[in-house]
Structure 1
Amino acid sequence: VIPLSTNSLYQNSFTSGTLLSSLSRGGHTSAAVVLGFILVLGVLGNFLLLLVFSRFPGLRTPANLLLINISVSDMLVCLFGTPLSLAASVRGRWLTGTYGCRWYGFCNALFGIVSLVSLSLLSFERYTALLGGSQLNSVQDRRARLAVAVSWFYSLVWTLPPLLGWSSYGPEGPGTICSVQWQQRSLAARSYVACLFVFCLLLPLLLMVFCYGKILLAVRDKTRFSLTVIMKRRLTPLIIVLFTITGYLLCWIPYGVVAMLASFEEPGVVPPAATLVPSLLAKTSTVLNPVICGLLNNQFSRCFLHMISCSAEDSTSSDGVWSSRGIWPQNMQIKEQNTEPATLPSRDHHGRQWEQVQMDDNET
């Protein structure tokens, strides 16, 4: 962290491109390699995830709208933020000046908070859907769309203030990344960092712990009796969501802790180079979503494999492995709700006719 007495010199050196980074050439190269992998895997993985959702309507359940929202925000981080830090790491200094730094800091904060808030709203949706009884699909759909809108509005509320004078966006760590100015010692800057930590990291975490704690207690009570096949099947979506949340928290909590230390501890307690590691760890969250869906969810992975196979045989040999319930069912009751069937493309690229496949709920 840069001491207050040298902060102005640090800013001037940064914007003029003459800042001498505390990171070695090898360190910059390593960071560039990691960012390159994050960029490629994040763009490719989230693009494929969104493509599968667009091709199979049966996967687009109300709850999955929040998953789509997370993928969109992760994709935007990869497109509008990661390339700037990658180029800076390759050259060993920031390349796009003050305005580019502000843009980078704002985009990363905006899209990152959208993902975190969407995860907390997803936990609340699971809590109300699994424990609150049956609801009409139209009600669930409106609630999911409202949750998506809330995630973006809430994120804007907390990421616009640094552009308007409450704290600011600027260089972080070795000078190849930008974010909120954690090292500033003014009352306004510290109050913003504290609010950001409480309302954009701690509060979503507490909501997730509460909702999933209630769900797990309900599941534990049900296991005292014999579980039906459908009840057992409904545990898998919960495991997928828990893996997603655990991964995101492992990525973001170290960054939040370092930011608080940089803001409220003595100057120099967190060396500039040391802030790079949690920053890179936070950026890896953009890769988690498609990996977890692809590895843990049979419905999604089989739809993906069918999509890339472009084979008529694949559409008739799966014995109904796709599910019209998408990745997460809407409740834990035995009786299933009617939803729109997922339909495979009617023709392949050779013009051969494919049969429409009705997804069922026989497996996950």
Structure 2
Amino acid sequence: MESFASQSAFGPHFAALSNGSVTDKVTPDMAHLIHPYWNQFPAMDPIWAKILTFYMICIGFISWCGNGVVLYIFSTTKSLRTPANLLVINLAISDFGIMITNTPMMGINLYFETWVLGPMMCDIYAALGSAFGCSSIWSMTMIALDRYQVIVKGVAGRPMTIKLALMKIAFIWAMGSIWTLAPVFGWSRYVPEGNLTSCGIDYLERDWNPRSYLIFYTIFVYYIPLFLICHSYWFILAAVSAHEKAMREQAKKMNVKSLRSSEDAEKSAEGKLAKVALVTISLWFMAWTPYTVINNMGLFKFEGLTPLNTIWGACFAKSAACYNPIVYGISHPKYRLALKEKCPCCVFGKVEDASKASDAQSQATTNENESKA
């Protein structure tokens, strides 16, 4: 453990602590992984550990059930066994994996109010969280790119095949493996963070080794996927909006109210895609941006980082695992139809007939082909 002088140099509050430091319960085998910056903070109120435990149990239960149901429905429903849906299944596996592995370990450490599982389990916890999290992010990206190919490029786009889907899934897990194993082999490292009940990338060290890793990790696991998702949905919405406008103008020329007999009863493809795009991008920012900001603050500026806000940032990133089943599963009409058949208590609202059930991208593609005919 660092000397008192070394510890107090990281902040003016250390000398004034009256109820001990957040690092007081650190076990001897973990002491060498704790950055001296955390020594300045008092021990967190035990009520926060209970609140965090309750939160993790809630999102864990939702994620286990939601992603478990997605995997069950997609794997047992023949009409859903399409190449494109392999990406949705991969997303569900990633989200299920991060919660089934991280939630129990974090719960144990919250009970003891510090990391008690040792350095090896710290590496395993952080590595699994990074691998599944990266896979989830890139799965969302590949889903967006697939929708872009189908809706924007149409017949000119590359059709999704099982081989192509498997190649994309291989790429997704390759990305996850690269960024997960790098700290294990010496490019940065995994350390306890926040209130020291969770482990993640070391974003407080000033050496070029961990800082360079964090810079590249942020680029390839946050900024590039975010750009690709926004790019895809921007052009998807633009294409569908232009098609809807053309349909309305054609209907006006033909002196009819609409070219769709069911337009009054069903929402347009434009509206459905707008909602999916808005929800996807919004949840992306909500789940991953706080933790990215925390990492960047540690990279460039310490002030503002506390055990409480950093641990909440890590927990909030994991909440994406319970959002995704709703966005990519329940918004899928054929999935809702199968879910109503096999688990009717999980379905709310109107469910389309089998003859009308289709996802947003296939609906938009059909409409486009009809307009060209």
Say whether the fold is shared (TM-score over 0.5).
yes
Residue 290, structure 1, aligned to residue 325, structure 2: yes
* 2:129 aligned with 1:108: yes
The code of the aligned residue for 1:102 comes to D
Task: Give the CA deviation at 1:89.
Answer: 1.0
Mapped partners of 1:146, 1:49: distance in 2: 22
1:200-219 equivalences under 5 Å are: 200-219=221-240
User: Matched residue of 1:50: which SS?
Assistant: helix
Aligned residue runs from structure 1 range 41-56, under 5 A? 41-56=62-77
Greater relative CO (CA pairs within 8 A, separation 6+): 1
Q: Contact (CA 8 Å) 2:332, 2:359: kept in 1 or not? A: no
Structure 1 residue 69, shift from structure 2 partner:
0.8
Deviation at 1:17, TM superposition (A): 6.8
State the shift of 1:134 in Å.
2.8
- Match of 2:200, SS state, is strand
Match of 2:153 in 1: 132
CA–CA separation in structure 2 for the residues paired with 1:87 and 1:94: 8
Tell me if the contact between 1:58 and 1:326 (Cα under 8 Å) persists in the aligned partners.
Answer: no
Matched residue type, 2:354:
V
- In structure 1, C-alpha distance between the alignment counterparts of 2:356 and 2:109, rounded to whole Å: 44
Q: Which residue identity does 2:170 align to in structure 1? A: A
Residue 233 of structure 1 and its aligned partner are, at CA, apart by 5.1
Determine helix, strand or coil for the equivalent of 1:334. Answer: helix
Residue 243 (1) aligns with residue 270 (2): no
Q: CA offsets per residue over residues 297-351 of structure 1, 9 Å max, x none?
A: 44322311210359xxxxxxx8943767557528613388xxxxxxxxxxxxxxx
Alignment correspondent of 1:256: 292
How big is the shift at 1:276? 1.3
Deviation at 1:281, TM superposition (A): 0.9
How far residue 278 of structure 1 moved from its aligned partner, in angstroms, is: 1.2
The residue that corresponds to 1:24 in the other structure is 45
Instruction: Return the offset for 1:220.
Output: 2.4
1:58 aligns with 2:79: yes
Q: Is the 8 A contact 1:22 1:273 kept in 2?
A: no
Alignment partners' CA distance in 2, 1:144 and 1:48: 22
Q: Is 2:120 the counterpart of 1:99?
A: yes
1:31-88 deviation per Cα after TM superposition (whole angstroms, max 9, x unaligned): 1110111211111111011111112121232222211111100111111112101111
Q: Look up the SS of the partner of 2:203 in the other structure.
A: coil
Question: Quick one: which amino acid aligns to residue 39 of structure 1?
Answer: G
**Cα shift at 1:116:** 0.7
Structure 2 match to 1:360: none
In the TM superposition, what are the counterparts of 1:1-364 in structure 2 within 5 Å? 6=7, 13-14=26-27, 16=29, 22-134=43-155, 139-226=160-247, 229=260, 234-235=269-270, 236=272, 239-240=275-276, 242-265=278-301, 267-293=302-328, 295-308=330-343, 320-321=353-354, 325=358, 328-329=361-362, 332-334=365-367
Residue 26 of structure 2 aligns to which amino acid in structure 1?
S
Moved more, 223-232 or 49-58: 223-232
Alignment CA distance shift 1:242-1:46 (3 Å): same
CA distance, structure 2, for counterparts of residue 226 and residue 38 of structure 1: 43
Report the secondary structure of 1:224's partner residue: helix
CA separation of 1:319 and 1:208: change in aligned 2, threshold 3 A: closer
Local SS of the residue matching 2:206: coil
Superimposed CA distance per residue, residues 195-225 of structure 1 (whole angstroms, 9 cap, x where no aligned partner) = 1111110011111111211122212222322
Identity rate of aligned residues, in percent?
Answer: 24
How far residue 243 of structure 1 moved from its aligned partner, in angstroms, is 1.9
173-182 vs 80-89, greater mean Cα deviation: 80-89
Instruction: Say if 2:53 and 2:110, in contact at 8 Å, map to a contact too.
Output: yes
Change (3 A) 1:309 1:287: closer
For the structure 1 residues 106 and 249, does the alpha-carbon distance in structure 2 shift closer, same or farther, using more than 3 Å as the test? Answer: same
Query: Could you say if the C-alpha distance between residues 330 and 198 of structure 1 is closer, same or farther in structure 2, counting changes exceeding 3 Å?
Result: farther
Does the 8 Å contact 1:299/1:323 carry over to 2? no
- Of stretches 186-195 and 53-62 in structure 1, the one that deviates more from structure 2 is 53-62
Q: Give the aligned residue type for 2:304.
A: V
How big is the shift at 1:292? Answer: 2.9
1:282 CA displacement = 0.5
* Counterparts in 2 of 1:335 and 1:200: CA distance versus 1, 3 Å: closer
State the Cα deviation string for residues 236-265 of structure 1 (Å, max 9, x = none): 356335423431331001110111101211
Mark the runs of 5 or more structure 2 residues left unpaired by the alignment. Answer: 11-21, 249-258, 346-350
Structure 2: distance between partners of 1:326 and 1:60:
13
Contact (CA 8 Å) 1:59, 1:324: kept in 2 or not? no
Asked if structure 2 preserves the Cα contact closer than 8 Å seen for 1:105 and 1:178, the reply is yes
Distance 1:201 1:136 in 2: 26
Letter in 2 for 1:47: G
Unaligned 5+ segments in structure 1 are 311-317, 337-364
Q: Distance in 2 between matches of 1:47 and 1:216?
A: 31
Is contact 1:64-1:326 (8 Å) kept? no
Structure 2 counterpart SS, 1:178:
strand
User: Given the superposition, is the C-alpha separation of residues 261 and 11 from structure 1 closer, same or farther in structure 2, using an over 3 Å criterion?
Assistant: farther
Distance 1:323 1:168 in 2: 51
CA distance in 1, matches of 2:312, 2:334: 35
